[in-house]
Amino acid sequence: MKLAIVHGGLTAIDMVRRALSTDREVEILWTAGDSTRAMAQARQERPEAALVSASLDRAAVLVRVLTDELDCPVIVLSDGSSTAKAGTFELMSAGAVDVIVLPGLASGTGDAAAVRGKLALLRRLAGRDNASHKSVPPMRAAPIRPAIIAIGASTGGPQALATVLAALPAQLEAAVLIVQHIDPQFSEGMAQWLARSTPFTVELATQGVQPRGGVVYVAAVGQHMVVETDGTLAFTSRPREAAHKPSIDVLFTSLIKRSRPGVAVLLTGMGRDGAQGLAQLRAAGWRTIAQDEATSVVYGMPKAAAELKAAAHVLPLPQIGPAIVRLVEELDRPPPRPA
């Protein structure tokens, strides 16, 4: 894979070079220190994938050129500062699919291995069309009683979540619970960034909160988010063997015994997290949706759900938000039987 690195610091570029020095499948095609030079270089010598600093001026413009014009997948490089965290989600909105935190590269081989894992993702995405998706105008409001909308996402998820939330009208009486696989220090920044996309209030979920209509609750990273039998949010370290904390499956399965079914959604992402839980929710009478292959950045989790027939509706991203609204309105009707 021919890789471009765009960063204003030579030390950072050298750090990435060292982390990738043992990966024979990666060739660093070129590097650039600013967005303007990178755009000119990319048009002259198109990379198959790119790493772009969140701190660069005009970085979002560069990401749009790479993803939309050149079909080049992008991962963000962040130094972990508050400015870079804010910039990270701007770049994800522009089309970037994941983030690497640079200070972690200096801490040992484990972090370098994680970087190589993310580059393996870029190799899978290289050459694919990752065009951005516009949100669809919202439909009419739901019933007076609050409902639960549970959403799980991974790679490519922040941008997909923003699209879905943008289609939910302010008057929708539902609480949204989100599990997004992301590096730990970005949970709060993602919540703040998603708040720009929706009329709902967006906040990090906290222990003991009773979900309220019109509020999006984002699970922080490090523990599983669950819904207790009394309807309040709680956090647990079990199961310890889960590949992700928080786990989408753990959230979904905690909702099975809820007296009133809701709507559960599985968006773009690698792996199978959420597929089994979605299947169990469908069997329990929940309305279930999975993102389709054409609009998924990575068709892993939604594909696993489709194979299990866990999703009653497999939809392109722009249709998911309006479908959620429609399904919330239908919650008091008998659910369709699984095929």
- Please identify every residue annotated as catalytic: 154, 181, 273
Q: Which amino acid is at 82?
A: S
Residue 279 · residue 309 · CB < 8 Å: yes
CA angle 65, 94, 316 (to 5 degrees): 110
- Are 100 and 115 spatial neighbours (Cβ–Cβ below 8 Å)? yes
Distance of CA 228 to the CA centre of its chain: 25
Q: How many residues does the chain have?
A: 339
Closest CA to 139 of 337, 329, 336, 334: 329
**Positive or negative: CA dihedral 171, 172, 175, 176:** negative
d(CA 16, CA 18): 5
Spatial CA neighbour of 151 closest among 239, 241, 217, 232: 217
**φ and ψ of 57, to 5 deg:** -65, 140
The 8-class DSSP code of residue 136 comes to: P
Q: Residues 63, 95: contact at Cβ < 8 Å? A: yes
Which are the contacts of 146, defined by CB distance < 8 A and separation ≥ 6?
Answer: 173, 174, 175, 211, 212, 213
CA distance 161 to 272: 18
